[in-house]
Amino acid sequence: MKKEELDQFEEFDESEGFEVVDPGCVPVTEEEAFQYLDKLVPLEVKMEAVQTTRDEFACDQHFGLGMWIRNNWIYGADSDDPDVKQRYRLCRAMLAGGKADDELMMLVFNADMVSSEFLMRYHDHLVSFVALDAPAISVRRKPVKCKHCGGKVAPVLYGEPGPEMMEAADRGEVVLGGCCISADGPDYQCPVCGQRYAKDR
């Protein structure tokens, strides 16, 4: 690749905000991958996931998290260690949804397609955690951070909102709980993912 082409390509590389993976921490199961990404991925990216469709998320993160996945988990490390090579082989097969293996995967499945498919599965993992009809988590006091996504938890305010309350809700400082107050309604909620919390009564 010519230097001019490389410079132009680097303008689109948005993966710099993610840490470089340790070859010994390459996941070989989807659960391991999700746990790793849950710690790695910034809150802003998680917020984007829960506010967009799976296709939009995969497209928006193609040069961000998608590039990080391709660089660290698909292309792998230059290592002579057979155990490290085996972990990368298993990781690539997992990312492809078990459809193919190692070199065959790279021939049949484009790395961009593999990372996009995995991004959609990670999107599903993020948004499926919180069901809005699920019971609220019981707490003694207002949590500082959401236990699911790390977002800042806000108080739930009930009643007809005025302009100031609406603006506060837009800023994520409060969550509007509606005009009717129920005995089992949440006291706090994460504006990012919707996880609800209720004081011990």
- Note whether 36 and 118 are same-domain residues: yes
- Note whether 59 and 117 are same-domain residues: yes
The pLDDT assigned to 16 comes to: 54
Q: Write the burial class of residue 72 (CB in 10 Å: 0-12 exposed, 13-18 middle, 19+ buried).
A: buried
The pLDDT assigned to 7 comes to: 38
- Note whether 163 and 118 are same-domain residues: no
Write the pLDDT tens digit of every residue in 126-176.
877 655 556 788 999 999 888 777 788 999 998 888 889 888 888 889 988
3 state SS of 57? helix
Cβ-proximal residues to 8 (8 Å cutoff; 6+ apart), any chain: none
pTM over 0.85: no
Last residue of a domain, one of 128, 160, 180: 128
- Note whether 82 and 178 are same-domain residues: no
The pLDDT assigned to 5 comes to: 35
- Is there a contact between 130 and 147 (Cβ–Cβ < 8 Å)? no
The pLDDT assigned to 12 comes to: 37
- Note whether 101 and 180 are same-domain residues: no
- Note whether 71 and 170 are same-domain residues: no
The pLDDT assigned to 156 comes to: 92
- Note whether 109 and 146 are same-domain residues: no
Number of domains in the chain: 2
List the chain pLDDT tens, one digit each, 201 residues. Answer: 334 433 333 333 445 555 555 555 788 888 888 888 888 888 778 777 777 888 899 999 999 999 988 888 887 655 677 777 777 777 877 887 765 555 555 544 578 888 888 999 898 888 776 555 567 889 999 998 887 777 889 999 988 888 898 888 888 899 888 877 777 788 999 887 778 899 986
The pLDDT assigned to 179 comes to: 78
- Note whether 123 and 173 are same-domain residues: no
- Note whether 122 and 143 are same-domain residues: no
- Is there a contact between 198 and 187 (Cβ–Cβ < 8 Å)? yes
d(CA 104, CA 89): 11
Residue 182: domain span: 137-199
Last residue of a domain, one of 96, 128, 160: 128
- Note whether 99 and 7 are same-domain residues: yes
Last residue of a domain, one of 98, 128, 158: 128
d(CA 168, CA 174): 6
- Is there a contact between 69 and 115 (Cβ–Cβ < 8 Å)? yes
- Note whether 120 and 174 are same-domain residues: no
- Note whether 121 and 143 are same-domain residues: no
E strands, the chain, where? 137-139, 154-157, 175-176, 188-189, 196-199
d(CA 66, CA 95): 11
